[in-house]
Amino acid sequence: MTKPIPGDQLHFLKSGFVFGTVIRDRYVSEISQRAQTITLTAAMIKGTKNRIGESWLDYLGAPDRQIERWGEEIFRPGPAPEDLTPWQPNSPEADMECDRRRKAAWALVDPQEQAEAFRVIERIFGRTATSTTINVVRGAAQ
């Protein structure tokens, strides 16, 4: 683990981590979003330190220490990998993203494009569970 320097990047593995930073010379708290990448500035690094000089950035590149402190790994050095989704698998966010994509797929006019869109959705999210909305008539005004 090395001390972060201005220009270093990190990405979050978990949404909901509250962290302190500096924006426009003001100390603020932010809430992480999974797959979010941030680029550190000198002011941000300085602004993360508490009154005794400790920072959440002290845990960057130290997954074991993060697990010891927070019970899980929250962030890693570098930009977010392209395959890191903004949602956790099997989470409410994943369900909402799947629903959003299904709605967009149903709106496609070309049957081949629509079928391909549903294949992609199934490949990413798996088969959709049967729900109580099974009796909704497709194409009917809602």
Alpha helices in the chain (DSSP H): 42-47, 63-70, 92-106, 111-125
Q: In a 3-state reduction of DSSP, which class is residue 105?
A: helix
Going by pLDDT thresholds of 50, 70 and 90, the confidence category of residue 91 is confident
pLDDT exceeds cutoff 70 at 60: yes
Q: Domain locations in the chain?
A: 9-77, 92-135
Q: What angle do CA 119, 88, 48 make, to 5 degrees?
A: 140
What angle, rounded to 10 degrees, do the helices at 111-125 and 92-106 form? 170
**What pLDDT, on the 0 to 100 scale, is given for residue 130?**
63
Q: Could you report the per-residue pLDDT of 99-140, keeping only the tens digit for each? A: 999 999 999 999 999 999 999 999 988 887 665 555 556 666
